[in-house]
Chain A
Amino acid sequence: MLKTLSSVLPVLMPSWRFFRTIEPSPRVEYVIIGADGVTEDWRQAFPRPAAVSARQIIGRLFWNPAWNDALFVVSCAERIAEQPTQHSINEITQRIRQLPQIQGAEKGRFRLTFVSREGDEFSREVVYISEEFALRP
């Protein structure tokens, strides 16, 4: 409860420092672990579409639950990178379990890869790998 009340203070006295610096950006990736313990390749859990039509963009002004949930996953990933909490780990785990492409699989892991720019190049750094978890809750 103390943590909840401490969340109220930044609401009443916000810093409003949006995009002060462009921090490394997280990507959530998952891997399926077979019954024999063999792992498949890591895949991005929540890839964005290649393109979005103007009609979709207008519609999303009013109805955008999937994207807003994806933004919450980004927040969870940033919280884990800062200091892992079971809450944030569970939130991401639950969403991976709901991915249609993992249906039927038994176990998996997720990892957080942070993308950043170093000079003219982009670098990717894995900052967290989860414990193995059951994909069927």
Chain B
Amino acid sequence: MTFELALRATEILLALALIQQSVEHVFGGGPARRLFAVRLLLALALLSGVYSAWSLALLSLHSLAVLHRFQGPYNGGSDRMGLLILYCICLTHWLPAGLLSEVAFGYLAVQVVLSYFMSGQVKIVNADWRSGQALADVFAFSAYPVSESLRGLAARKQTVLAASWSVMLFEVLFPLALLNQAILIGALGVAAAFHLANACLFGLNRFLWFWIASYPSILWLQARLMQGA
């Protein structure tokens, strides 16, 4: 994937994720409707591809107002990923073309890889995760399961244990996917399915859209690294 194609794909996917988020605020009866109406307009401008650098700069400035309004991210990790993508591709546009610009975009890719590896690493050193107890606790009493009926999954010990190890191994081994493009595409498919499952079980729909928006940067970085090698 070329640098230009990956950057534009990231812009489009980020714009769509921001539009989805903003529409929820503006039409969902939630707080800060006017604030997100502005984000909606800026995201539509980004989607159009006209003056992308300025749209990104304004979205970045606007993000400070959103952070101020909620005294931090509104939805934790998903908002952080959305902002990381935004800031990185904004820098990519505004830094001089060439190495600096590629470093800004590559930093996004590295962080996405780390988002999987670090999440897996902190789990696999935890005895509760290795025994399946931690995931059982997520279902049993955390705030995340979208319905009371899902809490029953906590009692299915073998299923929970298998799911725990599947998640941990996938996350810690994810960086190895950078070694081969076909494996990377497969790994990103599995990762998207993982986020889809989280969206279905825990209602984390914004994670799905923001993480997918970051994938073109990894595809570009993998090609760039192989080209360099």
Contact B148 A10 (CB under 8 A): no
Residues of B within 8 A of A50 (CB): 147-149
Interface centre among A1, A18, A117 (most CB of B within 10 A): A18
CB distance from B195 to the nearest CB of A (A): 10
Size category, A interface: 35 or more
A31-39, A63-71, A99-107, A126-134: which one contacts chain B?
A63-71
Main secondary structure of the interface of B (DSSP, over half): helix
Which B14-50 residues sit within 8 Å CB-CB of chain A?
20, 23-25, 27-31
Contact A60 B205 (CB under 8 A): yes
Contact A14 B67 (CB under 8 A): no
Contact A15 B71 (CB under 8 A): no
Question: Complex: how many Å from CA A108 to CA B208?
Answer: 38
Question: Complex: how many Å from CA A8 to CA B142?
Answer: 27
| Contact of A17 with B146 at beta-carbon distance under 8 Å, contacts A8-B67, A66-B28, A87-B71 already known | no
Question: Complex: how many Å from CA A17 to CA B80?
Answer: 13
1/0 per residue, CB under 8 A from A, across B115-126: the answer is 111110011001
Residues of B within 8 A of A57 (CB): 146, 200
* Contact with B123, one of A14, A20, A69 (Cβ below 8 angstroms): A20
* Contact with A1, one of B28, B68, B117, B149 (Cβ below 8 angstroms): B68
Residues of A within 8 A of B126 (CB): 20-21
Residues of A within 8 A of B83 (CB): 8, 11
Question: Complex: how many Å from CA A2 to CA B76?
Answer: 19
Which B75-103 residues sit within 8 Å CB-CB of chain A?
75-77, 80-81, 83-84, 87
> Is B184 an interface residue, CB under 8 A from the partner?
no
* Contact with A3, one of B71, B74, B206 (Cβ below 8 angstroms): B71
Report the nearest A residue to B129, measured CB to CB: A19
| Contact of A62 with B205 at beta-carbon distance under 8 Å, contacts A7-B73, A25-B141, A52-B147 already known | yes
Contact B115 A65 (CB under 8 A): no
Residues of B within 8 A of A5 (CB): 64
Residues of A within 8 A of B143 (CB): 25-27, 70-71, 74
CB distance from A89 to the nearest CB of B (A): 12
Question: Complex: how many Å from CA A131 to CA B138?
Answer: 31
Report the nearest A residue to B199, measured CB to CB: A61
Report the nearest B residue to A87, measured CB to CB: B71
Which A55-83 residues sit within 8 Å CB-CB of chain B?
57, 60-72, 74-75, 79
Contact B128 A22 (CB under 8 A): yes
Contact A51 B30 (CB under 8 A): no
* Contact with B64, one of A8, A74, A116, A122 (Cβ below 8 angstroms): A8
Q: Which B residues contact A (CB, under 8 angstroms)?
A: 20, 23-25, 27-31, 64, 67-68, 70-77, 80-81, 83-84, 87, 111, 114-119, 122-123, 126, 128, 134, 137-138, 140-143, 145-149, 196, 199-200, 203, 205-206, 208
Q: List 21 A-B contacts (CB under 8 A).
A: A3-B68, A11-B83, A11-B87, A12-B87, A14-B111, A16-B114, A16-B117, A18-B77, A19-B119, A21-B134, A22-B134, A22-B138, A27-B143, A61-B199, A62-B205, A64-B24, A64-B203, A65-B27, A68-B206, A85-B71, A91-B31
